[in-house]
Structure 1
Amino acid sequence: MGASGRVTLNDVAAASGVSRATVSFVLNDDPKQTISASTRDRVKQAAKELGYAPHGVARALREGNSRLVVLTIDWGLDGNYARTYIRGLDDELAAHHHVLLVRHGHQTTQDTQQILDAIAPRAIFRFGDPYFTGHDLDDLGRGWRDGLAAHTALQIQHLVEHGHTRIGLALPDFETPLTASRLRFTGHAAVKLGIPAPASFVAHRNRSACAHAVEQFLADTPGTTAIAGFNDDIALRSMTALQDLGLSVPHDVAVIGYDDTEYGELVRPSLTTVHIDAEAHGRLSARLILRLDDAGLTPVPAQIIVRESV
């Protein structure tokens, strides 16, 4: 038995009286090798008695068919949705004997080809591609029903229902393909709700720079009474900036987040936000990749977590 306590090919080889290579050929059912039926039976019986289980990743690397799924995620998209989505994706893949590898950073065509050449995964896909879109007819993420488009509209609708028609959209200070989608969907929601398209500003990480940006934005867009955050982190930056400027939340300016991180409940005023069933989205992606039925995996509809900031 190996040092890790797991039964290895060497253990099976010793128990069946054949070479390690023969064990590998038998257990991988290699059609190119001529091995007698009695030897095959002896190897399989030894493997069964010892409780041998192939190492999933190693087997995938050898087979190349494979049991590996690669998810690439751009820097900056590591909020609550991403973490919970990956957990659901990983759990569902594991339940079907697949292994998830996550690669952070912007993905180029060359990067993708290198991954395909190195490990021949069953699938390689970019985080959020289905979720970020908004075409109801061919959108696997159900964008206008249960994707970014629908959830952006829910965020803006909540502000409108509380009497806010002049809304600002607070964006991150890092580049992400999600920004363009968010601007487009926010504008679309505004048209449907009959309010002016929200103007946007960048909420910087630096506290004083963020306060300056908010101050300039309010000066340029008089009458703004609410800010919709790109995510909870951006909303919290905006709320702190408003307080640094001597403004009261929500009395002077309301703030709503997106993605329901744990920090929103810890601040004062606590942050109203949008909660999304990201784990179910991850499980659905796994079923899609594996071409399995998605029965029983209907996500809970997104909802507003009402707190004190609106």
Structure 2
Amino acid sequence: MAAKRVTMKDVARASGVSASTVSFVLNDAPGQTIPDATRERVRRAAAELGYVPHGLARALREGSSRIVVLNVARLPRDGVALAGFIGGLSDELAEHGHTLLVRYRDAPDDADPVLAAISPRAVLDLDRVYFDDEPELADGGWVDGLAAHTAVQLRHLVGAGHRSIAFALRGDERLSRLGALRFDYARDAAAEAGLPALVPVAVGHPAAAHDRDALAALLAEHPEITAVAGVDDEAAMRVLAAARALGLAVPDRLAVIGFDETPFAELAEPPLTTVRIDTAAFGRRAARELLGLPAATDDRGSASLAATVIRRESA
């Protein structure tokens, strides 16, 4: 039986720090006031455990063509985030004479006849990143990845004075893995802020009355909750609709914030506060890393990788 791969959480437990601290140390994240002794303890624990991180731009093969294959097999195909990433990746590759081929089916490997036929320059397995048992470093994690963006969402609510927060998940099988990741990250961010444990609530049933009943049950059991963070904008807008059906004042009784800004967020009632992520910039960064190019220093540089809160009336 193969030995279980050492994860970043193993390093965190061994060094007595949080997973986010391990992420900052192993990524050499700038602007962090982590004591040298803590950094050394983390690095020593990682070395002793044999921790080996992996990166997003991992080429499964080095072919002769100027084609790059992106695998997104199990990821939701209709989301704003994925579309932005694909667009940025494609545009940056095109600027350097490469073509992107997106694969939506099974994960490719070196024996794949399609890969053998086109001999791609590289294969980026984005699906593997988020379905792996440790995505925190592969996508930037607590530095500028999904974990960090989730922390931005939670910090907005904490900054507004909310101490008891629920997390709205959608009952969509395609979102189950990313939803579970986002909830784990939100729970860690809440714990770091000294908040009580987040309470999950499921929305997304075809019948709107189901969402209304779910929110009513949540607040009946946890009347102390004053805010809800949505796994995405759709979940947040469903909470808004349920709150309206229950006659709850938003944001006075219940603040609501979405995630991964959609074009419809500002049309919600009230307009939805949400988190904007420039996923196209992540696509461009991945392309440059893959091609061995230095990081961009213009307006497409690393600064655009930070998530920002789009403040509207709901939170």
Same fold (TM over 0.5): yes
Matched, 1:235 2:239: no
The residue number in structure 1 matching 2:122 is: 123
Q: Give the number of equivalent residue pairs.
A: 244
The residue number in structure 2 matching 1:70 is: 69
Q: Secondary structure at the match of 2:264?
A: helix
- Paired with 1:127 and 1:145, the residues of 2 have a C-alpha distance of 18
Quick one: structure 1 residues 64 and 134, their matched pair in 2 at CA, closer, same or farther if it must change by over 3 Å?
closer
CA contact (8 A) 2:66 2:121 kept: yes
The C-alpha deviation readout for 1:42-89, integer Å capped at 9, x for no partner, is: xxxxxxxxxxxxxxxxxxxxx952222122223525322222111111
- Paired with 1:117 and 1:217, the residues of 2 have a C-alpha distance of 53
- The residue type equivalent to 2:162 in the other structure is H
Cα distance, 1:209 vs. partner? 2.3
TM-score (norm 1): 0.71
Which of 172-181 and 119-128 deviates more?
Answer: 119-128
The C-alpha deviation readout for 1:163-190, integer Å capped at 9, x for no partner, is: 1111111112223321222122111101
Alignment of 1:247-258 (within 5 A): 247-258=248-259
Q: Secondary structure at the match of 1:259?
A: coil
Cα distance, 1:212 vs. partner? 2.4
Q: Secondary structure at the match of 2:218?
A: helix
Quick one: structure 1 residues 257 and 96, their matched pair in 2 at CA, closer, same or farther if it must change by over 3 Å?
same
- Paired with 2:258 and 2:181, the residues of 1 have a C-alpha distance of 17
CA contact (8 A) 1:131 1:142 kept: no
Cα distance, 1:113 vs. partner? 3.0
Matched, 1:306 2:311: yes
The residue number in structure 2 matching 1:10 is: none
CA contact (8 A) 1:130 1:141 kept: yes
CA contact (8 A) 2:165 2:228 kept: yes
Q: Secondary structure at the match of 2:120?
A: coil
Matched, 1:287 2:288: yes
The residue number in structure 2 matching 1:170 is: 168
CA contact (8 A) 1:76 1:174 kept: no
Cα distance, 1:274 vs. partner? 0.8
- Paired with 1:111 and 1:242, the residues of 2 have a C-alpha distance of 51
- The residue type equivalent to 1:233 in the other structure is E
The structure that has the greater radius of gyration is 1
Matched, 1:245 2:252: no
Quick one: structure 1 residues 235 and 120, their matched pair in 2 at CA, closer, same or farther if it must change by over 3 Å?
same
Identity of matched residues, % = 43
Which among 124, 132, 147 is matched to residue 149 of structure 1? 147
Q: Secondary structure at the match of 2:112?
A: helix
CA contact (8 A) 2:75 2:127 kept: no
Quick one: structure 1 residues 179 and 219, their matched pair in 2 at CA, closer, same or farther if it must change by over 3 Å?
same
Which of 241-250 and 85-94 deviates more?
Answer: 241-250
Structure 2 gaps of 5+ residues are 1-61
The residue number in structure 1 matching 2:179 is: 179
Quick one: structure 1 residues 126 and 199, their matched pair in 2 at CA, closer, same or farther if it must change by over 3 Å?
farther
- The residue type equivalent to 2:285 in the other structure is L
The residue number in structure 2 matching 1:9 is: none
> What is the RMSD of the two structures over their aligned residues, measured on CA atoms?
2.5
- Paired with 1:85 and 1:163, the residues of 2 have a C-alpha distance of 33
- Paired with 1:109 and 1:99, the residues of 2 have a C-alpha distance of 18
The residue number in structure 2 matching 1:193 is: 193
Structure 1 gaps of 5+ residues are 1-62
Quick one: structure 1 residues 253 and 115, their matched pair in 2 at CA, closer, same or farther if it must change by over 3 Å?
farther
Alignment of 1:202-221 (within 5 A): 202-206=202-206, 207-221=208-222
Quick one: structure 1 residues 186 and 112, their matched pair in 2 at CA, closer, same or farther if it must change by over 3 Å?
farther
Quick one: structure 1 residues 96 and 261, their matched pair in 2 at CA, closer, same or farther if it must change by over 3 Å?
same
- Paired with 2:246 and 2:110, the residues of 1 have a C-alpha distance of 45
CA contact (8 A) 1:277 1:299 kept: no
The residue number in structure 1 matching 2:279 is: 278
CA contact (8 A) 2:257 2:314 kept: yes
TM-score (norm 2): 0.70
Quick one: structure 1 residues 134 and 76, their matched pair in 2 at CA, closer, same or farther if it must change by over 3 Å?
closer
The one of the two structures with greater contact order (alpha-carbon pairs below 8 A, sep at least 6) is: 2
- Paired with 1:209 and 1:119, the residues of 2 have a C-alpha distance of 49
- The residue type equivalent to 2:313 in the other structure is E
CA contact (8 A) 1:281 1:299 kept: no
